[in-house]
Amino acid sequence: MDGPRKAAAKKAAPGKRAPVKKTAAKKSPPRKRPVQSRRPPKPKKRKPPRTLKLGRPTLRLRVTFGVMAFVLSLFAGRLVLLQGVDPDSYALAATRENTKPFVLHASRGAILDRNGVPLSVSEDAVAITADPTQTKPVAQQLARILAPKLPETTYGKLVTAMTGKGRFAYLARKVSPQTWNAIEAELKAKNAEIAQQNKGKPQDQQADLLAGIYTEEDPIRSHPNGTIAANVVGVVGADGKGLAGLEYGMNDKLSGQDGKAMYEVDTKGNKIPNANHTVEEPKPGLTAQLTLDADLQWFAEKRIEQAVKQYKATSGTVITTDVKTNEILAMANYPTFDPNKPVKSSQLYNPALEQVYEPGSVQKVVTMAALADAGYIDLGTKLKVPGSIEVQRRTVRDHFSHGTLNLTIAGVIAKSSNVGTIIAAKEMRIPQFVKYLKDFGFGEPTGLGFPGESRGVMPPGDEWSELTRSQVAFGQGLAANAVQMTAAVNAVANGGVYVPPKLVKNYVDQNGAVVPNPAGPSRRVVSEKAAKEVATMMEAVTAKGGTATQAAIDGYRVAGKTGTAQQVDSACGCYRKWATSFAGFAPADNPRFVTYVVLQNPQNGRSGGGQGGPVFRDVMSYALQKYVVPPTGAKQPVVPLEW
């Protein structure tokens, strides 16, 4: 067995490869794999059914209590946040969500005359409002009920307001209680009808009730005495605030302070009965008691209306004051208006304080008082008065033609001589004259605080030309309002003491407490002697030979002065209009009242004595009789007018 192996080994010695005889490769036949027999799958063992393993009771309780503690801690944390960290903001948010504010309007104070007669008062009324979220589905039905009863609005405007955005809209303001009661009754009747029709119908087929209409207080400003003092009192606008006159000037005092209420409301915005609410009560406004006398005011208004129409004037004013206090008893204007009716803005005007004009010869009362106080004239002064006088190349004449007249100073006043006044005024230095004019109130506010009041026009400075001084001396070249002129004459009647005019006597609060309206400080402008001398000169005006005998009052001594002055027409900037006037007081020897009358641009005649004198006489007579002022019984002094 070793031989063949060795032989084979030799043939295949290392390093020598035995030659291989190449022969064609023989393909071996494919081997057939033995077919394996499939064994049937072993059946799976079924798992036994799962069973609930019962936990231990102690563990289960611990987990339950842990979960509960966690949940409770969340609630506790939220509670701490709400009540401890920021409670106010959450309370405010809840309040905003569930409450609704309502304005409580303060009642506006009344305006009364000196005797308590109402000139302007507030009466109950309502504003009708809507919540469009409720009115939108029934807007047309509501508008058909509201429109016929609310003439200030229209069907279309009502529908628009009730179908708009938001939750509030005004439908009508200043609606009388009677009108609202009629509307409310019709709404209730219509809703009862709708409710009857809805009976037995499915919910989705029922008609909507008429809802979403509300009211709030909205008082009406009423003027029980109509036109009496309308230019003085003024009017109130739709918002309840003054638009003109004292209603505007005293608005802060009259209007008071509104209050407010917060009510809990339901989802539709309706108040919840008996729910929590807070109320801040309104503070009523003060009542203003004026110095005006309604009776005298009425008479003065009727009399100046008659004069304006008679003489075809543009307008007219009458003012009557109490001499000692300078309280204004009457401030009548014509044209006027009825404040209970719609008023144009152009009518909201008080000429007595807002219109200025050159006063004319009534100004001579002030000039003579200044000259008498300074010692330049007295009742014995005699002047030679030519028909005209030249001042700085300007010729000044009297209103009547005449040659040279020998006039006393009383004659100069009685005949209203411009030339004589210029001659007398030349004696006084211009700065001294200007100071007197300012002391008499010219160029300064009256102190009444009336809205729109004009302070008048005074030439600036005190270095006037001779021509300016001469013109001002007889009432041209400066401008004043009617109250300023009345106050100046009142100072002479009051023995030379200027008392600022007064229109508001006092205020009355809601408890009836009276708060006096303090008057401005008085001042002496001329001596008592000078004032009496001028009063005597003025008596000559209403006596025989004077320019205003029509102003005389039987049984009484009357002092007065006429005025006729050219006025500038703004259309041309030239003098072509006129103002005629008369100022006076009675009894002249113990003055009680001053009355001043002015007519603007009369077309039927032009005379201060002939036009203003009769109005003065009638109004002054009424005042003397109403206040039971008896004649003094003293005889009027005879004062020579010529020498």
The 10 Å Cβ neighbour count of residue 216 is 14
- Taking the whole predicted model, whether its pTM rises above 0.75 is answered as yes
State yes or no: pLDDT of 593 exceeds 80: yes
Local confidence band at 55 (pLDDT 50, 70, 90 cut-offs)? low
Q: Which helix (H) or strand (E) holds 565?
A: strand 559-569
More confident residue, 574 or 34: 574
pLDDT in tens, 525-569: 999 999 999 999 999 999 988 889 999 999 999 999 999 988 877
Q: How far apart are CA 355 and CA 333, in angstroms?
A: 11
More confident residue, 118 or 101: 118
pLDDT in tens, 192-244: 999 999 998 898 889 999 999 999 888 889 999 999 999 999 999 888 899 99
Query: What integer pLDDT is reported at residue 96 of this predicted model?
Result: 57
pLDDT in tens, 241-268: 999 999 999 999 999 888 887 766 665 5
The 10 Å Cβ neighbour count of residue 28 is 6
Question: What would the two tokens of residue 554 be?
Answer: 């039987």
**Domains detected in the chain:** 294-627 (3.40.710.10)
**Whole-angstrom Cα Rg for the chain:** 51
β-bridge mates for residue 280, sequence order? 260
Local confidence band at 11 (pLDDT 50, 70, 90 cut-offs)? very low
Question: What would the two tokens of residue 123 be?
Answer: 């009466």
Q: To the nearest whole number, what is the mean pLDDT of the chain? A: 87
Query: What integer pLDDT is reported at residue 93 of this predicted model?
Result: 60
Q: Tell me, rounded to whole angstroms, the distance of Cα 292 from its chain centroid.
A: 22
Q: How far apart are CA 180 and CA 201, in angstroms?
A: 32
For the residues of 357-405, what is the DSSP string, one character each? Answer: B--GGGGHHHHHHHHHHTTS--TT-EEEE-SEEEETTEEEE-SS--S-E
Query: What integer pLDDT is reported at residue 63 of this predicted model?
Result: 77
Query: What integer pLDDT is reported at residue 462 of this predicted model?
Result: 86
| Nearest partner of 494 among 323, 319, 366, 365, judged by Cα | 323
Q: How far apart are CA 297 and CA 290, in angstroms?
A: 12
pLDDT in tens, 421-466: 999 999 999 999 999 999 999 999 999 999 999 999 999 888 899 9
DSSP 8-state symbol, 285: P
The residues, any chain, with a CB within 8 Å of residue 387's CB and separated by 6 or more, are 397, 398, 401, 402, 403, 404, 419
Query: What integer pLDDT is reported at residue 34 of this predicted model?
Result: 53
